[in-house]
């Protein structure tokens, strides 16, 4: 069975919670909500980050792995994402105002710059190594965003990232029989449906509606709970049918597919 480590499982940082990040291989991650505390010095060896979108809880530690591990890094950090996501990071984050523009700073230990940006497009399969590939799926959020299908040795997991209800979700799962697990965000309690709609996130009630169209059994993993609402969201998920074959993710968990 294939697996991925959850470096950060939540929709923001809390007293004991870290924000969204997944370790795919020793050198590839999806999102950068938490790299340093989970990986320690190994974070210096992350070479490629596949970004879902430009929100802070998904990008914040890009700033710190570049800075804190500046003397240890031997390769450029490749930031992969939709063109609008990478543009937002260059314009509003690594812009020499909020944090240095590391695409203009040479590596200490090798040729080239500290950061390279590479646009990706949905529905194209990018190879990570001999056994692993990744493909973006457009999602429904307040900024341009995507989830990812990660395939390893013929098996796959779909990680939705931040999204509201998305017709592509069922369509994609029904189209690709190799998807055996789904990581679905569940950000707010069901009573906060109007905030979920405004911020384009899911609640347990919306997640239940979203899953109805899936035509086969999948392992379900829920993430991106807002730290302030963890207890309520957990109670609601437990009271629903969603945890029959499902699990609420915590920092450090492993997902299997
Ligand atoms: Zn988020
Ligand atoms: Zn977001």
Proximal ligand: closest to the CA of 8: 1
User: How far is the centre of ligand 1, averaged over its atoms, from the C-alpha of 111 (Å)?
Assistant: 34
pLDDT of 215 > 90? The answer is no
| 195 contacts: CB under 8 Å, gap ≥ 6 | 188, 201
| Residues by chain with Cβ below 5 Å of ion ligand 2 | 55, 162
Minimal CA–CA distance to 210: which of 164, 148, 241?
Answer: 164
User: How far is the centre of ligand 1, averaged over its atoms, from the C-alpha of 229 (Å)?
Assistant: 14
The CATH number linked to 252 is 3.60.15.10
How many domains are contained in the chain? 1
pTM, two decimals, is 0.97
Could you read off the pLDDT of 158-195 as tens digits, one per residue? 999 999 999 999 999 999 999 999 999 999 999 999 99
| 231 contacts: CB under 8 Å, gap ≥ 6 | none
Query: If phi over 0 gives left and psi between -120 and 50 gives alpha, with beta otherwise, what is residue 97?
Result: alpha
Give me the domain span that covers residue 64: 3-256
User: How far is the centre of ligand 1, averaged over its atoms, from the C-alpha of 73 (Å)?
Assistant: 27
Proximal ligand: closest to the CA of 224: 1
Mean pLDDT taken over the chain = 97
Proximal ligand: closest to the CA of 143: 2
């Amino acid at each position: 069975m294939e697996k991925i480590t959850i470096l950060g499982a939540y929709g923001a940082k809390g007293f004991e919670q870290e924000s969204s990040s997944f370790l795919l291989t020793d050198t590839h991650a999806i999102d950068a909500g938490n790299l340093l505390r989970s990986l320690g010095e190994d974070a210096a060896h992350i070479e490629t980050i596949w970004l879902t979108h430009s929100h802070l809880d998904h990008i914040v530690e890009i700033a710190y792995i570049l800075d804190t591990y500046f003397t240890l890094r031997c390769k450029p950090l490749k930031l992969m994402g939709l063109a609008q996501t990478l543009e937002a990071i260059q314009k509003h984050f690594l812009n020499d105002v909020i944090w240095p523009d590391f695409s203009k700073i040479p590596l200490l230990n090798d040729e080239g710059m500290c950061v390279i940006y590479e646009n990706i497009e949905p529905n194209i399969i990018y190879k990570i190594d001999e056994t692993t590939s990744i493909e973006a799926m457009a999602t429904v959020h307040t900024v341009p965003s995507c989830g990812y299908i990660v395939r390893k040795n013929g098996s796959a997991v779909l990680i939705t990232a931040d999204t509201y209800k998305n017709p592509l979700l069922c369509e994609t799962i029904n189209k690709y029989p190799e998807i055996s697990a789904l990581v679905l965000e569940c950000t707010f309690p069901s009573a906060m449906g109007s905030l979920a709609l405004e911020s384009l996130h899911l609640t347990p009630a919306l997640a239940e509606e979203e899953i109805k169209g899936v035509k086969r059994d999948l392992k379900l993993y829920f993430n991106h709970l807002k730290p302030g609402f963890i207890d309520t969201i957990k109670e609601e998920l437990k009271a629903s049918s969603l945890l029959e074959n499902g699990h609420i993710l915590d920092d450090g968990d492993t997902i299997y597919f």
